[in-house]
Copies of this chain bind each other. A is one copy, B any other.
């Protein structure tokens, strides 16, 4: 076997490679193989999870194991209420540069980026549906501050804020947490959606997302929740059962531009939605992601940030891999009615994670 080529790798061994067939960059992070997991049998054990776990690296008392505390919110009885820390097993690291290198037909580069963890509470079993409005606002505030600070760094081109809940959603630890990754390039997938929105704007002179929000409000049947700043709905062409988009009413390309009022209203909305999922769908595993514009696009009229919740009730299989299309076994209108009714008395009868 030939020796491995180290040119594209940073000091931590992270590397990125470009797939010429799909146009996507792939991140190679061998250190993530070593990350700990306490998620075995996680769903059945959720109910009985304690408020403190000696083994959990995010519970108080494990400070020495955390590689670096970036942000800490204090107050209350515990020495801290929320922490943002460096990920000990980062997918990307801030060392190295953005220089692409040729590797025969291919391109590679160092795995530049930031990878942070938002430890949302010192309490091991305090998931968002159990939190107060203040606590959830603190999480959104932490997202916002880190978004602004990371975007200020010249090489960061995109900030992805996300939460993986449960092992089917890719979480390896049970303690309440979200993650933030910054990348030094704009992925093909994001450019593609940018391009579609740009063309729509060029054709119609409107923001696609504003028009879509107006359409959903006029139809009404897929709306789940409204407050002064946000409308939550299951989109007309949802890819998965119970996929929820939380759309700001105010047109802003950039999550960094949210107002104080919007942060508070987003927290209120997330509490309601995640409680709803927990109660009506038997606490399903889910991901949520904040979709925001790439660097240099924050002022553009066609981009509109939003948050997407993707419950992991079904599995993408071979047809989805081959075609890119999704097969959804649930109709958006029915899913929305089911959630609005608190999981009661809707055509199709009782649903739960195992029936979909």
Contacts and interface: CB of A to CB of B under 8 A. Distances in A.
Interface residue tally on A, bucketed by range: 35 or more
A319 interface: yes
Interface of A: 1-2, 4, 17-30, 32-33, 91, 103-106, 158, 160, 162-164, 167-171, 179, 181, 183, 187-190, 192-193, 196-197, 200, 208-209, 211-212, 215, 218-221, 235-239, 287-291, 308, 310, 314-331, 333, 337, 355-356
A317 B2 contact: no
Contacts of A288: 318
| Majority SS at the chain A contact face | mixed
18 contacts: A1-B221, A1-B333, A1-B337, A2-B219, A4-B331, A24-B237, A24-B325, A26-B237, A33-B329, A104-B218, A160-B322, A160-B323, A163-B318, A170-B320, A183-B325, A192-B192, A287-B321, A289-B322
A328 B316 CA distance: 18
A105 B215 contact: yes
A196 B319 contact: no
A324 B24 contact: yes
A156 B323 CA distance: 14
A20 B197 CA distance: 9
Contacts of A211: 105
Contacts of A193: 21-22
B162 A315 contact: no
Contacts of A164: 317-318
Given A162-B322, A171-B317, A290-B322, 10 more contacts: A1-B337, A19-B237, A20-B212, A22-B193, A24-B326, A26-B237, A104-B215, A105-B212, A106-B237, A181-B323
